[in-house]
Structure 1
Amino acid sequence: MRFGAALLAGALCCLSACSAGSLGSSDDETGGKTAITFLTNNDPANVKVAESVIAAFEAGNTDVDVKLDTRPQGSEGDNLVKTRLATGDMADVFEYNSGSLLQAIAPQTNLTAVTGEAWVADLDPTFKQVVSTGSEVYGSPWGAIVGGGIFYNKPLYTKLNLQVPKTWADFMANNAKIKAAGVAPVEQTYSETWTSQVLVLADYHNVAAANPGWAEKYTNNQAKFATTPQALAGFQRLEELKKAGYWNEDYASAKYNEGLNAVATGKAGHYPMITFGVPALSTAAPDNVDDVGFFALPGDDASKNGVTLWEPSGIYIPKSTEGDKLTAAKKFQAFVASPEGCAANASAAPVGGPFAVKTCTLPDSVAPAVKDLSAYVDAGTTTPALEFLSSIKGPALEQITVEVGSGIRPAADGAKLYDEDVKKQAQQLGLQGW
């Protein structure tokens, strides 16, 4: 399962009243309206967003009736989508992964290209990249962009007169000053092991900035973490922070929500995290959401400073959708990529990042960390996370990063072990060159 999807997943019980056999749309029209079916994942927060978007769409498109169906998340949902596409029984419009996992459903064969639609020009270039194959575009964005980097405590930065760092050296200098002030410089929460890998994954912008095309070489078994200095650096930075004594004392037992609380309340100066954690701040530290800022994981070159992005999933139309239903499905797809669609999304759930549509604006009420991320997106200093560019992500990464971050395994050995983990997965996927 993709890293971001795993973290955002909720209960796996399907909320739809429909059986798997009823997910395709009916050919009937209701009351003169064209009826289409929209299929999305069954995460409760996602369903709430879908209901809001559908209601807003139908209010402005009274000739279309949209029926909501849901599918399981994870591998079960993936298999359902692939089966429906293979049998020509997919819903009229559906939500699915962007990036490398999109390629697994053969968009050229199974999806309707929308390259010439007017709204495509409004897509954020980075998102457009992960819903395209060759010169053809297939999807509009479902949800917001989130970024990986560092949450930081703004009042502490003000108190110590610290500046947002653009290089790793500057970041480490800030950590030294924070430790001298008696505060844990960097929060880690290894009780929930997935959090340990954020620092390595968020470092990918720095890898790509120094090595254009690295993701393709990595996928083709022509580049390794252990033998690419910038890719190895993510593991080395974990090791460096541990050796410097910059972790919180309870890093081995602390949990995700405790980490959010620590950086929000000033018990810690920094917390490596992805901005989908912003909505969770309102639960972990409801009185301190505005005290948390965000910056990209610093690299070695300030001139190439930028952020690693986890792109939203896409809204796609299968080639089995035809006639009036195709027209209606395209209207719905376009609505999702409009300011009205973004507003309907934002009204249903807290937003953890900017929208992947240039014409959409964030509500004034969004958290400072989201505004900080938006500045990188607006400036175009972004790179999709590696998992959007390559189908290979070894399942043992979070265990390896716990070991490196705990001082159990040296960074170089951790990178080599991860390369072996990646090799196993690539062979399971049947990729050429492995």
Structure 2
Amino acid sequence: MQRKGWPALAGALLLTTVLSACGSNDGGDKAGSNNGAAANNGAAADNGAAADGGAAADDGAAADNGAAASDGAAGGAKSDKAFTIRVGAWFLDERPYMVQFKQDVEAAYAKLYPKAKIQWDVVLGATYFDKLKAQFASGSAPDVAFYQGVDFATSGNLADLSGEPWVSRLNDGAQKDAQTHAGGKTYGVPMGLSIGGGVWYNKQLFADLSLTPPKTAQELFDAADKIKASGKTPITLGFKDQWTAQMFFSNWLNSYGLDNPTLGKDVYDGKTKIAEDPTIQKVYQNFEQMKAKGYFNKNAISIDWPQSGQMFASGEAAMIVQGPWMPGANADNIAKGGFDTFDIGFFPLASDSGKVAMTLGSNEALGINAKTELMQESKDLVNLITTADIISPFMAGDGALTSFTDVSVTYSDPAMNEVQAAVDASTVLTSQFVSYLPASSITNLLDELTKVVSGVKFNAGDLKAAQTSLEKDKATVVLPAE
């Protein structure tokens, strides 16, 4: 695995890809990169399993014994202090692994503080982040908060946790995670490292057509030709959820961008114009070609992510571009829909020459309110959440790679092993093109992509709107660390 641009890890899951301009319309944890809006711009992200269709992704989490024991916080001392500690989150729904996570945390915390009560302040979806910002502004934020976007840290809302015992246990990727680290300090726990998305495929359908995972853009087109000829939809899109469009676009642009690694910074600095860059144009031309050849579902821009997931689970479509939650979401969709079971595989989107870039970073980050009156109690809570028994099952359910050197994760679906292999074989990016753009400019790019997928001929001149928005809103961009 080659790394570019450390220490500015801005992925999920994934982050500036998956995290850009997303909102959950199904009540799941799709709100707030690793995988929404770019993490560096502080907008909501999406880690994608729908509350009603993305149930427990992986239930097998194996933990190493290196993590601190859950009753070892605060030196192992117990306290009879009675208090209520508030924990804010946008994704803690009723999926089994989420329910188990809350139960595990409550049980472990009761060993430290028998008279304490944990109040889970959960607002499902993207509105959580607006509420959290307002709470910080009014002094009413939770004591402990899950968050996305490094701006929560750089704005002074989160406590500096650099001296906490779990920091030394973070692995290489987690130490450089963009939304939990800033200015040489650690402000949050990366709750696992997530990819910014990729292509999940129906292994049975591929086998029936004697197809192997594509390693170049042309091989992807060739595979799509065979799939279409068989009567199946090659790739299902749910572009009604615009974050899925950004995921697809950014993943492909990341790989093509390896030939021009300074593209984002050059555009930001005014050295390159968005509408004039051939790399950006190439990605739009790919989408135009795929639309013209009928590789997408006809309702690509009118259905949302859950509907596209159902289409994939039913066997009607051979491929879907989504994040690491896909194995669990697909298994749940198959069970609920009564569809025939099939194994899924994973491969990243490659350039014409076969180059592959992937983003990697935390999706959910966990921090502490800098103004909490329960600072030690909050630190103890965060510390126990990092223990293997608690965080490993969470990572497995989230489809995330481990962020700790002493915590391992066992996945129930072997497809996650293909994700790890893809990460190992790719160039891992810590920032990407959209990291250098304001949200308004990203919206312009996605609007153009939607037009192309709807059948409108691509015109590079239409990208000038994104350039105009960049120049107008440039001051809102929080640049990735160099």
Partner of 2:205: 156
284, 291, 305: which one pairs with 2:343?
Answer: 291
Q: Which amino acid aligns with 2:297?
A: N
CA distance in 2, matches of 1:187, 1:421: 30
Task: Decide whether the 8 Å contact of 1:281 with 1:289 is kept in 2.
Answer: no
Partner of 2:24: 7
Which residues in structure 2 correspond to 1:203-282 (within 5 Å)?
203-206=252-255, 209-219=258-268, 223-251=272-300, 253=302, 255-282=304-331
Q: Secondary structure at the match of 2:369?
A: coil
Task: Decide whether the 8 Å contact of 1:189 with 1:256 is kept in 2.
Answer: yes
Give TM-score scaled by structure 1 length.
0.76
Pairwise CA distance, 1:56 = 4.2
CA distance in 2, matches of 1:63, 1:224: 60
CA distance in 1, matches of 2:137, 2:239: 41
Answering whether residue 363 of structure 2 is matched by residue 317 of structure 1, we say no
Task: Decide whether the 8 Å contact of 1:276 with 1:352 is kept in 2.
Answer: yes
373, 381, 388: which one pairs with 2:419?
Answer: 373
Pairwise CA distance, 1:124 = 4.8
Q: Secondary structure at the match of 1:37?
A: strand
Partner of 2:54: none
Deviates more, 1:393-402 or 1:153-162: 393-402
Pairwise CA distance, 1:137 = 1.7
Pairwise CA distance, 1:34 = 6.9
Q: Aligned pair in 2 of structure 1 residues 179, 353: CA closer, same or farther (>3 Å)? A: same
Pairwise CA distance, 1:404 = 0.9
CA distance in 1, matches of 2:295, 2:168: 45
Pairwise CA distance, 1:270 = 1.9
Sequence identity percentage: 22
* Per-residue Cα deviation, 1:174-230 (whole angstroms, up to 9, x for no partner): 223333444332223455555444320222432553343544445555555433333
Pairwise CA distance, 1:379 = 5.8
Partner of 1:15: none
CA distance in 1, matches of 2:106, 2:424: 30
Task: Decide whether the 8 Å contact of 1:110 with 1:318 is kept in 2.
Answer: yes
Q: Secondary structure at the match of 1:3?
A: coil
Pairwise CA distance, 1:275 = 3.2
Pairwise CA distance, 1:397 = 4.4
* Per-residue Cα deviation, 1:130-154 (whole angstroms, up to 9, x for no partner): 1111321211024662431112111
Pairwise CA distance, 1:4 = 7.0
* Per-residue Cα deviation, 1:389-415 (whole angstroms, up to 9, x for no partner): 456233344432221112214052453
* Per-residue Cα deviation, 1:56-81 (whole angstroms, up to 9, x for no partner): 43255356835224164677544543
Answering whether residue 401 of structure 2 is matched by residue 354 of structure 1, we say yes
Instruction: Structure 1 unaligned segments of length 5 or more: list them.
Output: 13-29
Partner of 2:357: 306
Q: Which amino acid aligns with 1:306?
A: A
Partner of 2:9: none
Task: Decide whether the 8 Å contact of 2:437 with 2:470 is kept in 1.
Answer: no
Q: Aligned pair in 2 of structure 1 residues 239, 354: CA closer, same or farther (>3 Å)? A: same
Q: Which amino acid aligns with 1:332?
A: L
438, 454, 464: which one pairs with 1:416?
Answer: 464
Pairwise CA distance, 1:95 = 1.4
Q: Which amino acid aligns with 1:136?
A: K
445, 455, 460: which one pairs with 1:407?
Answer: 455
Task: Decide whether the 8 Å contact of 1:53 with 1:345 is kept in 2.
Answer: no
Which residues in structure 2 correspond to 1:31-430 (within 5 Å)?
32-33=80-81, 35=83, 37-43=85-91, 45=93, 48=99, 51-58=102-109, 61-62=112-113, 65=116, 67-70=118-121, 72=123, 77-86=128-137, 89-97=140-148, 101-103=149-151, 106-107=154-155, 109-127=156-174, 128-130=176-178, 131-142=180-191, 145-190=194-239, 194-206=243-255, 209-219=258-268, 223-251=272-300, 253=302, 255-286=304-335, 287=339, 290-302=342-354, 304-309=355-360, 311-321=362-372, 325-343=374-392, 345=394, 350-365=397-412, 367-377=413-423, 381-383=427-429, 386=432, 389-390=435-436, 392-393=438-439, 394-410=442-458, 412-423=460-471, 425-426=473-474, 429=476
Task: Decide whether the 8 Å contact of 2:161 with 2:186 is kept in 1.
Answer: yes
Pairwise CA distance, 1:313 = 2.4
Task: Decide whether the 8 Å contact of 1:144 with 1:353 is kept in 2.
Answer: yes
* Per-residue Cα deviation, 1:92-134 (whole angstroms, up to 9, x for no partner): 322111xxx3225525x34332334442344354443211113
CA distance in 2, matches of 1:426, 1:155: 47
Instruction: Structure 2 unaligned segments of length 5 or more: list them.
Output: 1-17, 30-77
Pairwise CA distance, 1:381 = 4.0
Task: Decide whether the 8 Å contact of 1:152 with 1:293 is kept in 2.
Answer: yes
Task: Decide whether the 8 Å contact of 2:274 with 2:280 is kept in 1.
Answer: yes
Q: Aligned pair in 2 of structure 1 residues 341, 163: CA closer, same or farther (>3 Å)? A: same
CA distance in 1, matches of 2:370, 2:288: 49
| Alignment RMSD | 3.8
Q: Which amino acid aligns with 1:120?
A: V
CA distance in 1, matches of 2:434, 2:407: 23
Task: Decide whether the 8 Å contact of 1:199 with 1:238 is kept in 2.
Answer: no
Q: Which amino acid aligns with 1:298?
A: A
Question: Which protein has greater RCO, CA pairs closer than 8 Å, 6+ apart?
Answer: 2
Task: Decide whether the 8 Å contact of 1:296 with 1:308 is kept in 2.
Answer: no
Pairwise CA distance, 1:274 = 2.6
CA distance in 1, matches of 2:160, 2:221: 47
Partner of 1:21: none
Deviates more, 1:396-405 or 1:221-230: 221-230
Give TM-score scaled by structure 2 length.
0.70
Task: Decide whether the 8 Å contact of 1:195 with 1:398 is kept in 2.
Answer: no
Q: Aligned pair in 2 of structure 1 residues 316, 269: CA closer, same or farther (>3 Å)? A: same
* Per-residue Cα deviation, 1:344-396 (whole angstroms, up to 9, x for no partner): 5368xx4333343343333442x344332233345674335749845623334
CA distance in 1, matches of 2:104, 2:272: 42
Q: Aligned pair in 2 of structure 1 residues 196, 208: CA closer, same or farther (>3 Å)? A: closer
Task: Decide whether the 8 Å contact of 2:237 with 2:297 is kept in 1.
Answer: yes
